[in-house]
A and B are shown apart, each in its own frame.
Chain A
Amino acid sequence: VDGVTQRRTNRRKAPGRTGAEGKRQGKKTANMDVDEDEEGEQDETPNKRRGANVRKPTKKHGGGDEDEYDSEDKAPRRTRRAAVSKKKRGRPQDSDEEDSEVEKGKKGKKGAVKKGGKEEEGSMGKKGNAKGKDKGKDKDNDKKKKKKDESSSDSRSDSDEEEESMSEGEMARLMEEVEEKKKLIANIRNKPWRMKRRLTHLKEAQQFVDKFEGALGKGKGRKWYAYKVMMTKVLMGLPYGSIPRKTVPRAEQATAQDYSVLMDFNVIQNHFKGLTHSLTSFSISINFLGYCKYSVLFYGYYNDQRTIGFLQFRLPLSYLMVGIGTFGYSLMVVIRTMAKNADVGGGDGEDGEFTFAWKMFTSWDYLIGNAETADNKYASITTSFKESIVDEQENQKDENIHLRRFLRVLANFLITCSLGGSGYLIYFVVKRSQEFATRNDLSWYEKNELEIIMSLLGLVCPPLFETIAELEDYHPRIALKWQLGRIFALFLGNLYTFLFALFDEVNTKLEEEQAIKNASQLAMNEYYSNYSRLVNETGATPPPMDPADVIRGPCWETAVGIEFVKLTVSDIQVTYLTILIGDFARAVIVRFLNYCWCWDLEAGFPSYAEFDISGNVLGLVFNQGMIWMGAFYAPGLVGINVLRLLSSMYYQCWAVMATNVPHERVFKASKSNNFYMGLLLLILFLSLLPVVYTIMTLPPSFDCGPFSGKPKMFDVIMETIEMDLPAFMGTLFSYAANPGLIIPAVLLMVLAIYYLNSVSKAYQHSNIELKKKMQMAREEEKNRRNNTDSTNQVMKDLEDLLPNRSLIPPTPPSEPGETLVPEAKPTKSKPRSAGKGINLQKDVALASPNPNARGPVNRPPGPRGPGGTADPGRGHRRGPPLS
């Protein structure tokens, strides 16, 4: 058995050594991957015998020099021998051991490996054969014997004996060691070593593991595989604890599109079902939208047929359900996202502790590979530092609070004024447009006055607000929030004014409609009475009238839908034009006029446009609100919006790349997205209001839309309950609609909200408490460290006197011990940082005994270099070759 295993281990050695060479060749040839290594191994295997034989030449050559492989070979024997005495104390300090191994390896190995490798290659051809003959004789003997017999003949015989009589305890110890080595292999990527050192170390460890796993009767194929994997890991940076790349897209845009897609999908369903219904008339084209007014885009397209087709699709019911369901779904998504964000935000809430340190050490993005970006990054880092400095200074002093307060009040007053003014302007314009509606001789401007004014307000007001906000002198982050809030208020105010004006219009339309309805009913009655009078028959057919000629009501729902579509379209136009002119044209001018201008246009006054992130996000939010509001009356709006979002993504992406520079100050309005999500939620609620109000109160048009003829839109539900559901369901619903049930339900909900709210408050409170505790613990630890450092000398001395320490021969604490400390830290730091203060003393204590603990390091696994002065076993062994 022994012979076999020995052979195996020798064979192992060849690939092990040639691994590195194979690697280099691999680079040259083609594939540097594992397969290459394998190939390398295949190529080398014929040489394996020689590889083993070569050992001799190298040994001779390396005589005084320490040969790594040599000591490796001896390792098992030495282990067994020396270990008995040494192992016991050495065991617990394996990491140190490894490190000291490394330390020595660095000295001894660097030369040795290179030399050894080269010499081997050189001598392989010549000496290999000759030696092979010698070896051939001993073949039936141990391989090991063969190798050793020349160099260390004295130790040969007894070592062989030892090998044969491997006791149980030794086996166990060996196993342990093998495990240790395996651990080293597994962790090699964690060691802050040079590549060369890593390779040699890995090689050694691997050899050791192979050898002794073989000796312990374990398979080697698996090992080889592990080795390959290891190598590739070392070289290619394969997963250690695979850090996921930050690929999760930001919620804002995606979700916005999601809703849209969903709505669009449902709407399309409606469209398919609605196709059976033929359009009554294309002939009338009154205004702006003309044909579109009667397309699937708008409410009026859908008719009131209760069920459609074989499957009895209930168009009116599904129209209402989709309209309301969209809101419900959106609400759910927004709230869930917010909850998730709050989770994430709470996770790394340890802010304020290392503000400056983090800024200092982690603010540079190593991914930057472009000079312009680097410039921007420098600027943004500088400003962020300045900002933090200002923060810090503001924490310390606060001067002339009265003036500042006055200025802030003034600024808010000014902004309220401009908000009110813009609101009134819009109201005025809407009123005017209603007057215009009765006239036919309108210019293009007069037709689109409202949209133009609204877009202009959206363009002019934000910069105005920003200017006014200068007065307030808030911290930039707070200022940004104010600014966003104000713009939001502006948009929302405008939208709502617009909406109220629209309601006025709707009311007039309703009156008009009533008149038309009466008139047409009158006409119909007249017609029928005439018909029955003339024909003397009651079953009258409808009047032979072309549907296009029928007098039709104004259909206010479609009118509302049209307004929203117009608003959206003009918003798109304004946005795109702004980008084209404000960004692109400016960039072109700045770029090309710069060649012939008095001052530097790029760095000076006009410069390039900045990409205003928060403004753009706000635009998206607002846009989404408009869609929510308008989608019920103009289902096609969703489709338009999807197109808009898609195109504007590419368009703005181009604009940002080509014409914009990053914002000088990039502030996050909040750490999580919850500021924007909150705005989204608010606007969702606010856009839900008018829609639900109209659904619940206003009577639908009598001659258009899926709800025509019903007194209220939601009557569709009643109708369905009555006609399609079994009778008991109807009674069930009537109970559910009973105020006696609803009021307790509302009360219950209020109570639940109250309860949850107080629970969350309590959690928040305990959170803050815990944070405080952590802070205190940190301070305490700091203090303790401080104290221990100064007063701990006594403790250290005491520790040195501890019994187990005193057993160790007091070798002079040499320098290696010191150099060890930084090496050992990376692996140790984790438990320590978790363990806090108490560990500190241990660490200190561990650091000093290190030099003493070097003995164990020289045990077999370490194909150690020279200079193991503290090692009696080694000295003994090394003696002969050295002398």
Chain B
Amino acid sequence: MGNKQTTFTAQQLFYRYRDLAPQLVPLDYTNHPDVKLPYELIGSMPELKDNPFRQRIAEVFSEDGQGNMTLDDFLDMFSVLSEMAPRDLKAYYAFKIYDFNNDDFICKSDLEKTLNKLTRNGLTEDEVRMVCEKVIDEADLDNDGRLSLDDFQHMIVRAPEFLRLLYVILLNQKYIYLQIVDAF
């Protein structure tokens, strides 16, 4: 509709989806063909390929939990990853993504995994342990040693960078990211 330039259309998304594997995805979706793209294809999208959490993202949004996506899953994913998705939704999915073992809590092992992915194992074990302890110390409101969805949302919606969380644009050309913005 009006603001096509700021968001992407489902049509665009369909083409993106199809472009990943033209031989697999039919143009005609009238009969709901049961097509799934394997994770390898999804994860190689330029939007995701450099993301440390790409596998988690694909897993969370795919119905089978393995990262293999139907068109619906795909649309789903990008509707959450769009700029316009409501905060609560983003927070919810962010929680899901960081909850590596799917136990509905972010526990220490999840945090360690997150941290190691973020820093590419750049921290020593002691440092990792300390950071995880600090995170739980800061955000765990009910003192059960792990973060529930509530804790997570309470913490995340206050983050100044929250608006950028889980926000992916469709890349038509090379998107160059400058840190100049960060400088001020």
Beta-carbon contact of A389 and B32 below 8 Å: no
- Sampled A-B contacts (12; CB under 8 Å): A33-B1, A189-B79, A237-B7, A239-B84, A241-B87, A243-B84, A369-B49, A613-B179, A785-B141, A786-B143, A826-B153, A827-B88
Beta-carbon contact of B9 and A367 below 8 Å: no
Beta-carbon contact of A832 and B150 below 8 Å: yes
Contact of A656 among B76, B160, B178 (CB under 8 A): B178
Beta-carbon contact of B179 and A666 below 8 Å: yes
0/1 string, B138-180, CB within 8 A of A gives 1: 1101111000011011111111111111111101001111111
Given contacts A354-B139, A376-B179, A825-B150, whether A360 and B168 have CB atoms under 8 Å apart is no
| Cβ of A589 under 8 Å from chain B | no
Point out residues on B near A: beta carbons under 8 Å.
1, 3, 6-11, 14, 27-32, 46-47, 49-53, 63, 72-73, 75-76, 78-79, 81-89, 91-94, 96, 98, 104, 111, 114-115, 118-120, 122-123, 127, 130-131, 134-135, 138-139, 141-144, 149-150, 152-169, 171, 174-184
A365 to B10, CA, bound (A): 24
Contact of B83 among A243, A662, A829 (CB under 8 A): A243
| Cβ of A650 under 8 Å from chain B | no
Beta-carbon contact of B29 and A27 below 8 Å: yes
Which chain B residue shows the least CB distance to A199? Answer: B72
Beta-carbon contact of A357 and B161 below 8 Å: no
Quote the shortest CB–CB distance from A20 to chain B (angstroms). 9
- Write out the residue numbers on chain B whose beta carbons fall within 8 Å of the beta carbon of A31: 11
Beta-carbon contact of B3 and A366 below 8 Å: no
- Write out the residue numbers on chain A whose beta carbons fall within 8 Å of the beta carbon of B171: 369
13 other A-B residue contacts (CB within 8 Å) besides A350-B158, A366-B51: A30-B11, A32-B11, A34-B1, A195-B76, A238-B3, A238-B84, A240-B85, A361-B98, A369-B50, A370-B174, A611-B180, A613-B183, A614-B183
Which chain B residue shows the least CB distance to A371? Answer: B50
Which chain B residue shows the least CB distance to A657? Answer: B176
Which chain B residue shows the least CB distance to A833? Answer: B154
| Cβ of A245 under 8 Å from chain B | yes
Quote the shortest CB–CB distance from A579 to chain B (angstroms). 15
Beta-carbon contact of A360 and B89 below 8 Å: no
Given contacts A194-B63, A373-B176, A373-B177, whether A368 and B93 have CB atoms under 8 Å apart is no
Beta-carbon contact of A656 and B180 below 8 Å: yes
The tally of CB-CB contacts under 8 A between chains A and B is: 272
Quote the shortest CB–CB distance from B172 to chain A (angstroms). 11
Beta-carbon contact of A830 and B183 below 8 Å: no
Contact of A114 among B32, B153, B166 (CB under 8 A): B32
A555 to B5, CA, bound (A): 58
Beta-carbon contact of B163 and A386 below 8 Å: no
- Write out the residue numbers on chain B whose beta carbons fall within 8 Å of the beta carbon of A830: 88
- Write out the residue numbers on chain A whose beta carbons fall within 8 Å of the beta carbon of B11: 26-27, 30-33
Beta-carbon contact of B150 and A829 below 8 Å: yes
Which one of A228-236, A493-501, A509-517, A731-739 is at the interface? A228-236
Beta-carbon contact of B161 and A362 below 8 Å: yes
- Write out the residue numbers on chain A whose beta carbons fall within 8 Å of the beta carbon of B94: 361
- Write out the residue numbers on chain B whose beta carbons fall within 8 Å of the beta carbon of A30: 11
- Write out the residue numbers on chain A whose beta carbons fall within 8 Å of the beta carbon of B81: 366
Beta-carbon contact of A240 and B120 below 8 Å: no
A676 to B183, CA, bound (A): 11
Contact of A673 among B119, B138, B178, B184 (CB under 8 A): B184
A363 to B122, CA, bound (A): 15
Beta-carbon contact of B179 and A189 below 8 Å: no
Which chain B residue shows the least CB distance to A356? Answer: B134
| Cβ of A190 under 8 Å from chain B | yes
A392 to B138, CA, bound (A): 13
Beta-carbon contact of A118 and B31 below 8 Å: yes
Closest 6 pairs (CB-CB, A-B): A24-B29, A32-B11, A237-B82, A613-B183, A382-B122, A374-B50
- Write out the residue numbers on chain A whose beta carbons fall within 8 Å of the beta carbon of B46: 369
A782 to B143, CA, bound (A): 7
Beta-carbon contact of B177 and A368 below 8 Å: yes
Beta-carbon contact of B163 and A246 below 8 Å: yes
Beta-carbon contact of B164 and A362 below 8 Å: yes
Contact of B141 among A27, A236, A382, A782 (CB under 8 A): A782
Quote the shortest CB–CB distance from A388 to chain B (angstroms). 8
Given contacts A386-B127, A833-B154, whether A28 and B141 have CB atoms under 8 Å apart is no
Quote the shortest CB–CB distance from B81 to chain A (angstroms). 7
Beta-carbon contact of A364 and B52 below 8 Å: yes
Which residues A349-403 have CB closer than 8 A to chain B? 350, 353-358, 360-371, 373-374, 376, 378-382, 385-386, 388-389, 392
Beta-carbon contact of B91 and A826 below 8 Å: yes
Which chain B residue shows the least CB distance to A191? Answer: B89
Which chain A residue shows the least CB distance to B72? Answer: A195
Beta-carbon contact of B179 and A360 below 8 Å: no
- Write out the residue numbers on chain B whose beta carbons fall within 8 Å of the beta carbon of A189: 79, 85-86, 89
**Size category of the binding interface on chain A:** 35 or more
Beta-carbon contact of A785 and B143 below 8 Å: yes
Contact of B138 among A241, A356, A386, A656 (CB under 8 A): A356
- Write out the residue numbers on chain A whose beta carbons fall within 8 Å of the beta carbon of B181: 246, 250
A21 to B32, CA, bound (A): 8
Beta-carbon contact of B183 and A617 below 8 Å: yes
Please indicate which of the listed interface residues B27, B114, B131 has the most CB atoms of chain A within 10 Å of its own CB.
B131
| Cβ of A163 under 8 Å from chain B | no
A380 to B154, CA, bound (A): 26
- Write out the residue numbers on chain B whose beta carbons fall within 8 Å of the beta carbon of A382: 118-120, 122-123
A237 to B143, CA, bound (A): 36
Contact of B30 among A28, A246, A353 (CB under 8 A): A28
Which chain B residue shows the least CB distance to A22? Answer: B30
Quote the shortest CB–CB distance from B159 to chain A (angstroms). 5
Beta-carbon contact of A367 and B175 below 8 Å: yes
Beta-carbon contact of A370 and B6 below 8 Å: no
Beta-carbon contact of A370 and B75 below 8 Å: no
Given contacts A32-B11, A189-B85, A373-B50, whether A24 and B122 have CB atoms under 8 Å apart is no
| Cβ of A348 under 8 Å from chain B | yes
Given contacts A250-B184, A354-B139, whether A789 and B144 have CB atoms under 8 Å apart is yes
A314 to B96, CA, bound (A): 71
- Write out the residue numbers on chain A whose beta carbons fall within 8 Å of the beta carbon of B1: 33-34, 232, 236, 238
A24 to B75, CA, bound (A): 12
Given contacts A385-B127, A782-B141, whether A117 and B89 have CB atoms under 8 Å apart is no
Beta-carbon contact of B127 and A25 below 8 Å: no
Given contacts A368-B50, A826-B91, whether A24 and B32 have CB atoms under 8 Å apart is yes
A361 to B134, CA, bound (A): 13
| Cβ of A781 under 8 Å from chain B | yes
| Cβ of A221 under 8 Å from chain B | no
0/1 string, A173-194, CB within 8 A of B gives 1: 0000000000000000111101
Quote the shortest CB–CB distance from A110 to chain B (angstroms). 9
| Cβ of A710 under 8 Å from chain B | no
Beta-carbon contact of B161 and A389 below 8 Å: no
Beta-carbon contact of B167 and A370 below 8 Å: no
- Write out the residue numbers on chain A whose beta carbons fall within 8 Å of the beta carbon of B115: 360, 385
Please indicate which of the listed interface residues B82, B84, B120 has the most CB atoms of chain A within 10 Å of its own CB.
B84
Beta-carbon contact of B84 and A237 below 8 Å: yes
0/1 string, A629-669, CB within 8 A of B gives 1: 00000000000000000000000000011000011001010
| Cβ of A23 under 8 Å from chain B | yes
Quote the shortest CB–CB distance from B49 to chain A (angstroms). 8
Beta-carbon contact of A825 and B143 below 8 Å: no
Given contacts A195-B75, A237-B85, whether A243 and B163 have CB atoms under 8 Å apart is yes
A481 to B177, CA, bound (A): 26
- Write out the residue numbers on chain A whose beta carbons fall within 8 Å of the beta carbon of B178: 656, 662
- Write out the residue numbers on chain B whose beta carbons fall within 8 Å of the beta carbon of A236: 1, 7-10, 79
| Cβ of A242 under 8 Å from chain B | yes
| Cβ of A842 under 8 Å from chain B | no
- Write out the residue numbers on chain A whose beta carbons fall within 8 Å of the beta carbon of B154: 829, 833
- Write out the residue numbers on chain B whose beta carbons fall within 8 Å of the beta carbon of A218: none
- Write out the residue numbers on chain B whose beta carbons fall within 8 Å of the beta carbon of A199: 72
Quote the shortest CB–CB distance from A416 to chain B (angstroms). 28
Beta-carbon contact of A238 and B7 below 8 Å: yes
- Write out the residue numbers on chain B whose beta carbons fall within 8 Å of the beta carbon of A364: 51-53, 118
